[in-house]
Amino acid sequence: MTALLRLFVFVLALLPVSAFAQEAATEATGIYRFEPTASLSLLGIIYTIVMVVLFLYVGWLSKRRVATSEDYFAAGRNVGGVSNGLAMTSNYMSLATFLGFTALLWSIQYFMMGIVFSFIGGFVMISIAIAPCLRRWGKFTSMQFIGDRFGNFAKIIAVLCMILLAQLYLIGQMKGVGNVFQVMFHWDYTTGLIVGGLVVTTYVTIGGMYGLSYNQTLQAIIMFIALFIPAIIILWELGAGWTAIFPPFGYGSLVPQMMEALPSYFDPFMTANGEIPLTPKFYTGIMLSIAFGTMGLPHIAMRYFTAPSVRDAKMSTLWGIAFIGLVFFTACAIGFAAKLYSINVLLAEQGLAIEPAQADLLVVVMSQAFTPSWIAALPVAGALAAGMSTIGGLLMVIGTGIGSDIYSTIVPNAKDRSRVHAGYFFTAAGGLVTIILALDPPSFLLTSVIWAFVVASSTFTPVLILGMWWKGANKMGAIAGMVVGGFLSIALWWTKGTLFGIEFIQLGPLGYLVTAIFSAPAAWFTMVVVSLLTGGEKDEKILREVDRIHGWKDYDPRRYNGKVFPLTVAAISLALMIWSAMPDPAFEALEQAQAEQAAPAASEEANAAPATDSDADGSSETAIAANATTE
């Protein structure tokens, strides 16, 4: 069975069997299978063709404005606050967010709110700690800042980290685009992937940052309309009344129904239908993974270099927070409606259970059930716009990181036009390589979006913050911090929190979702300690630049050079690392309860009649599956 988006649904595979799942198994008479109507598919194709033609036309028009490297890589630093805020919104709201958000809210309920506030909180911290300094620095990427602040070797490491997290982000988006075409339009996955991937690669390559910025502004508007209008009708049809006109608050009257259907939905200390306990470590971990990861995402940082001034950079962030918050909280309303619809309508009235792989289709499922086809097809267009926007932003950062940052390092005297040509080449090459990788992606890429945030949190964020706010941070500290953070963000995710036989993260079934609770503090701690041990930064030119990016016209060697800030950071980081590995009583109790439940079943099975070979094989497979759900 084909899934539309699986970037978030993997969570369900790691959860114990929930109360709802058990209820569905005993009461459901069948499994729900979504099948788009002919009119929905046709209108979805029409909307998609119109969007594709529009995006390509905007990219072609934008090419006329590209005369210099500043035009190609930074849109001439001429993108206003509102447009930049909209572009940030669509750049950040990926295809997985647009539809997979509903699936994750359907599966883990209240914990999703912690994730939402971490997403938005990351932008708040960007506006305070990063945006003004990056804009005053005045280059094209955060990797260039790292190179100027800490040297070319540090820049190369930063570009390598960027390529890693960009590919983690990109392949999932490309796969999602291919799945949209496959499920909605009955296209072959490969055909849909190649068509969608080539469209985005083409308009980003030919139009550069100008084309990307204008298209992302359009895509944000499309995404908002595609989510907001269906949400109003769905909530109205479910009985929300006139409050449905503003979906973020429109489901208040439906809360009593949800409390009756699933009392644990609003419980901040339980998730997954009341089966998984939530502790402060979860919320701390998700903040370090998502909020701090947002601060380090290079394709978000790039938007600040397109602003005309520092004030516009700050305003871009504020508009971005407003638009992103509106979309996120509208998606929360959709997720609430999806959970209520799956329990009260599909299960109670029709006797149909929702499988995890179908949960990410719930936006389209409800749109088809409650709205006319011309509206029901809007989420399809919105999902594709979201995917193409994020893909475009990531391709642009790859093209700039290699075509500008690395190329200018290897060929420092290259002509400006040569740098533009290098940007064309590496942007296109990045798109083609990603399409090839997404043709047959390994299964671990289903978790790639959150993994990309963990990598960003553990590599870019410590180097950016300490590089801007502490003059003592030096080359050796930055390199050591990125290497340690990069290694741990990969290794601990891959091993689900265990390394060299040591359990570094103790968070139960969902622990590896928030591995930055150890890897990010390790990067901060390493950078501070190594910088202090190696004597700190001594280059006065760099120290003067630190003052300049904060808006100071004079130079004071004592400014941003105290020991309280770095030592406090190191102490907090060390405490977080120790805390992350400490056993959590909530999960010890959970594991004990699961063991007690499993014991009677094992006893009954042992007392049963001798099994045949085929029965033994089936029992073995069941045991393997049970182990997978509890790891």
Q: What contacts 66, CB < 8 A, 6 or more positions away?
A: 72, 207, 208, 210, 420
3-state helix, strand, coil in the chain (%, to 5): 80, 0, 20
Q: Is residue 479 within 8 Å of 161, Cβ to Cβ?
A: no
DSSP annotation string for 247-295: GGGTTGGGHHHHHHH-GGGG-TTEETTTTEE--HHHHHHHIIIIIHHHH
Q: Is residue 473 within 8 Å of 466, Cβ to Cβ?
A: yes
pLDDT of amino acid 629 = 29
In a domain, 561, yes or no: no
- Tracing tokens 């194709």 back to the chain, one arrives at 45
Q: What contacts 116, CB < 8 A, 6 or more positions away?
A: 328, 329, 332
Task: Quote the radius of gyration of the chain (alpha carbons, Å).
Answer: 25
Strand ranges for 278-404 from DSSP E: 352-353
3-class secondary structure per residue, 531-564: HHHCCCCCCHHHHHHHHHHCCCCCCCCCCCCCCH
- Tracing tokens 């963000």 back to the chain, one arrives at 489
**Length, in residues, of the chain:** 631
pLDDT of amino acid 364 = 84
Strand ranges for 305-377 from DSSP E: 352-353
Hey, what amino acid is at 106? W
pLDDT of amino acid 167 = 80
Q: Is residue 297 within 8 Å of 91, Cβ to Cβ?
A: no
Domain carrying residue 195:
10-441
CA–CA–CA angle 129, 132, 138 (5° rounding)? 130
Q: Which residue has the higher pLDDT, 586 or 8?
A: 586
Q: Is residue 96 within 8 Å of 7, Cβ to Cβ?
A: yes
Measured between alpha carbons, how far is 357 from 363 in angstroms, rounded to an integer?
13
In a domain, 619, yes or no: no
Residue 28 has pLDDT above 70, yes or no: no
Hey, what amino acid is at 390? T
Measured between alpha carbons, how far is 582 from 571 in angstroms, rounded to an integer?
17
Hey, what amino acid is at 237? E
Domain count, the chain: 1
Measured between alpha carbons, how far is 75 from 213 in angstroms, rounded to an integer?
8
Q: Is the pTM of this model over 0.95?
A: no
pLDDT of amino acid 529 = 96
DSSP 350: T
Mean pLDDT for the stretch of residues 487-494: 90
Mean pLDDT for the stretch of residues 141-149: 87
By three-state DSSP, how is residue 236 classified? helix
Hey, what amino acid is at 118? S
In a domain, 462, yes or no: no
pLDDT, mean over the chain: 79
Smallest CA-to-CA distance from 148 within 527, 408, 394 is with: 408
Smallest CA-to-CA distance from 153 within 406, 522, 470, 368 is with: 406
In a domain, 268, yes or no: yes
Instruction: Name the pLDDT band for 441 (thresholds 50, 70, 90).
Output: low
DSSP annotation string for 117-164: HHHHHHHHHHHHHTHHHHHHHT-S-HHHHHHHHH-HHHHHHHHHHHHH
pLDDT tens for 120-139 read 888 888 888 888 888 888 77
pLDDT of amino acid 487 = 94
pLDDT tens for 64-86 read 777 787 777 777 788 888 888 88
3-class secondary structure per residue, 209-229: HHHHHHHHHHHHHHHHHHHHH
pLDDT tens for 339-382 read 888 888 887 777 777 776 677 778 888 888 888 988 988 888 88
Instruction: Name the pLDDT band for 327 (thresholds 50, 70, 90).
Output: confident
Measured between alpha carbons, how far is 423 from 356 in angstroms, rounded to an integer?
41
- Tracing tokens 């990969």 back to the chain, one arrives at 490
Structure tokens at 384: 């594709």
Q: Which helix (H) or strand (E) holds 173?
A: helix 152-185
pLDDT tens for 454-465 read 999 999 999 999
Max avg pLDDT among 151-155, 172-176, 257-261, 608-612: 151-155
In a domain, 98, yes or no: yes
Lowest mean pLDDT among 318-332, 389-403, 560-574: 389-403
DSSP 421: H
Q: Is residue 515 within 8 Å of 497, Cβ to Cβ?
A: yes
Find the CATH number of the domain harbouring 54: 1.20.1730.10
In a domain, 166, yes or no: yes
Measured between alpha carbons, how far is 248 from 116 in angstroms, rounded to an integer?
13
**Is the alpha carbon torsion for 275, 5, 498, 566 positive or negative?**
negative
Structure tokens at 553: 């016209």
pLDDT of amino acid 595 = 64
DSSP 344: I
pLDDT of amino acid 625 = 27
Instruction: Name the pLDDT band for 406 (thresholds 50, 70, 90).
Output: confident
In a domain, 316, yes or no: yes
Q: What contacts 532, CB < 8 A, 6 or more positions away?
A: 472, 477, 566
Smallest CA-to-CA distance from 140 within 165, 117, 173, 162 is with: 162
Residue 617 has pLDDT above 50, yes or no: no
